Structure 1
Amino acid sequence: MTDHSSVSMTRRNLLRAFAATTLVAAPTFSNAAGFLRGAGDIRRIRMYSGRTGERLDTIYWIEGDYIKDAVKEVHKFMRDWRTDGVKQIDLRTIDIMAASHNMMDISEPYMLLSGYRSPQTNAMLRSRSRGVAKNSLHMKGQAADLRLSSRSVNQMAKAATACRAGGVGRYSGSNFVHMDCGPVRTWGR
């Protein structure tokens, strides 16, 4: 006689147990919007910060549910490193970043240049550059500036634009792409 009462193996528990080794097939540009609406079982985000030396590689969504602790890690990772201020990052922005990353079919983590910005940091950056918006979505936790060494600004922007889910800015001179969950729009070259 076998005792099965000690182990409850649901599909969800099985996915969680193997989440670290599971890879999601990269969506094509044509189904990027479907990915953001919930197609796929797992969403993962990989980043590092040259400013703090921190790395993040986490599965933050499984079968329609955001994983609270993983999302908290993303919020902390994307903090304003100048003030150490943390703000909740809009989940739509994280989804756009993850979908874009998957479409590029790479394992290299994003280099996060800027996530959340405090009003003080935004004002300081604005005083140094006319490319910083007065009411930047970074201050609302709705934007990220990202770089990849293995992909061009144009390749990154093409993937983000295919999501049709927010703003995409190309900053070729500074070698980064801005992604946000605001109105759908593009700028830069």
Structure 2
Amino acid sequence: MTGTRQSGMTRRALLGAFAATTVTAAPTFANAAGFLRGAGDIRRIRMYSGRTGERLDMIYWIEGQYIKDAFKEINHFMRDWRTDEVINMDLRTVDIMAASHNLLDVNEPYMLLSGYRSPKTNAMLRSRSSGVAKNSLHLKGQAADLRLASRSVTQVAKAAMACGGGGVGRYSGSNFTHMDCGNVRAWGR
């Protein structure tokens, strides 16, 4: 995978820019799928949940096709663990997560803090924190809150922002990065 070129910049060079903590020349792509081209014609997501103890290491896309059964497992894994409700997660969010993980060049799985949130869960979280949006994209299965022990919130956020596929929130105080497939935007510190 090293040496793969996207818009004249190697993945290794981009990772070097992250290591220097400044990404002044990071490419902007229409969506995260651009980073996944040339990655062996597969897309893979690796996560674990500290809440449920579950682990997921799943190839969900092969040679241009999403794998339906893989997404059933991803949807179940990313369910609202408080209510056990499952919905179809947006494929674009999973692509952003996978592309960001590839850019970070780690073997460690993401820790999933929050994927889908039921209206009941979102209302409960809103009552406890001003940082929870009333119309959160978590309610639509279009967002995930993630953590990597080996990378800082800023490093994970920069990888997600380089994908140019949606919203990226940095929550350094709580040690997680929010990724979604909504409008391209960034917030937090």
Listed as ranges, the gaps of 5+ residues in structure 2 are: 5-9, 15-25
TM-score (norm 1): 0.84
Q: How does 1:49-128 map to 2 (within 5 A)?
A: 49-128=49-128
> What's 2:18 paired with?
none
State percent identity of aligned pairs.
74
Q: Match for residue 184 of structure 2?
A: 184
> Per-residue deviation at 1:68?
0.7
The question of whether the paired residues in 2 share the 8 Å contact of 1:79 and 1:117 is answered with: yes
Shift of 1:186: 0.1
CA distance in 1, matches of 2:32, 2:50: 29
- CA–CA separation in structure 1 for the residues paired with 2:105 and 2:45: 13
How far apart, CA to CA, are the structure 2 residues paired with 1:131 and 1:91?
Answer: 25
Q: Which has the larger radius of gyration?
A: 1
> What's 1:39 paired with?
37
Where does residue 20 of structure 2 map in the other structure?
Answer: none
Indicate whether 1:150 and 2:150 are aligned. Answer: yes
Cα distance in 2 for residues equivalent to 1:72 and 1:103: 25
Q: Secondary structure at the match of 2:132?
A: coil
Preserved CA contact (<8 Å) 2:168 2:187: yes
Aligned residues: 166
8 Å Cα contact 1:46-1:56 kept in structure 2: yes
C-alpha deviation, 1:187, in angstroms = 0.2
Conservation of the 8 A alpha-carbon contact between 2:80 and 2:116: yes
Q: Per-residue displacement from partner, 1:83-126 (whole Å, max 9, x unpaired)?
A: 00001000000000000000000000000000000000000000
Deviations 1:142-186 (A, max 9, x none): 000000100000000000000001000000000000000000000
Check whether the contact 2:167–2:186 (CA below 8 A) recurs between aligned residues: yes
Amino acid at match of 2:37: A
SS of residue paired to 1:173: helix
Cα distance in 2, alignment partners of residues 64 and 178 from structure 1: 27
User: Contact (CA 8 Å) 1:32, 1:99: kept in 2 or not?
Assistant: no
Cα gap change, 1:61 to 1:32, in 2 (>3 Å)? farther
Across the aligned residues of Structure 1 and Structure 2, the Cα RMSD in angstroms comes to: 1.6
